[in-house]
Amino acid sequence: MRPIQATIDRSALTHNLSVVKATAKQSKVMAVVKANGYGHGLLNAAQGLAAADAFAVLGLDEALALRNAGYQQEILLLEGVFSADELLTVSEQSISIVVHCEAQMEMLENSHIKSVSVHLKMNTGMNRLGFKSEAFESALSRLAQCQQVKEITLMTHFATADEAQGVSAPFALFNRVTEGKSHPKSVANSASILRFSETHLDWVRPGIMLYGSTPVSGQSAASFGLRAAMHFTSQIIAIQVLETGESVGYGQRFTADKKMRIGIVACGYADGYPRHAPNGTPIAVDGLMTQTLGRVSMDMLFVDLSALPDATIGSSVELWGNQVPVDAVAESAGTIGYELLCAIAPRVPVRVLT
């Protein structure tokens, strides 16, 4: 069997949830487990995060999978429902919905469901989903009068919580529009949880930090006390010796300027490793740090073994995990840790540590 695998450490998920709770002490925690638990497996993530007060997902199928697995917490559909038929199901299964546009409002008002909990979303600058501030109070008034609605939470999502400009302007807008309203409020994503304690309102909504990746550029996950929940590993399956002037891989993107020993790793972009990772992307062999060389192939990539004389066929390789932060690989490849975690291919075997 090909030696590549992704190992999911549920204890790391539990640990990271405890970091959230210790940081946002007065808030309830809604753990975001969309995108198949950020690539970790929906139910794997839910089991590791079982102590969360609620879960947030994208689609109804994910919400039903959690309900069918026995989770009784509040479950929120982050994009709401897409059809009137879904409203009946969410009502029957006690699933909460985001309402972010006029069409969803009308769908809810025209339905014949018993009741549903709603998170009304304000657009405070992301310009993705949500009612603009000038329309928000009217939308809230309509929901308050809608007999199909039993509870209302007020929410927004920050566009720049991880950027230098922070959240002061959108947070001030949200506070101004919602001032004096007694409904629970939910605004803080992972970056806000770690950077802006004033945003820790009734609810916080951690996502990427639960999986041990940093939401803040320039600061490592470890600096926040977070642990990697995914360990992506493989082995050396062949070794080549390059003479001075010889190249390696498609396009000959790396040429040796001296005699070099190169390892071939059983992992490529069809497994979820970024094809655009350049020469010098960090990687570990037998627990020792080194770097990738050449262009990533569909099923293989190349690693510099010149300073690792004991490395041989069968040597262990950590693509990312405890020693090689996924964020370091992502930064080298010009992307973010979220993308890499979500991109693990279905063909990669998954092992779960409880």
> Which are the catalytic amino acids?
34, 250
Contacts 24+ apart (CB under 8 A), 136-144: 136/177, 137/177, 139/99, 139/105, 140/181, 140/183, 142/105, 142/109, 143/99, 143/105, 143/108, 143/118
Q: How far apart are alpha carbons 77 and 34 in whole angstroms?
A: 9
For residue 9 the two structure tokens come to: 């450490």
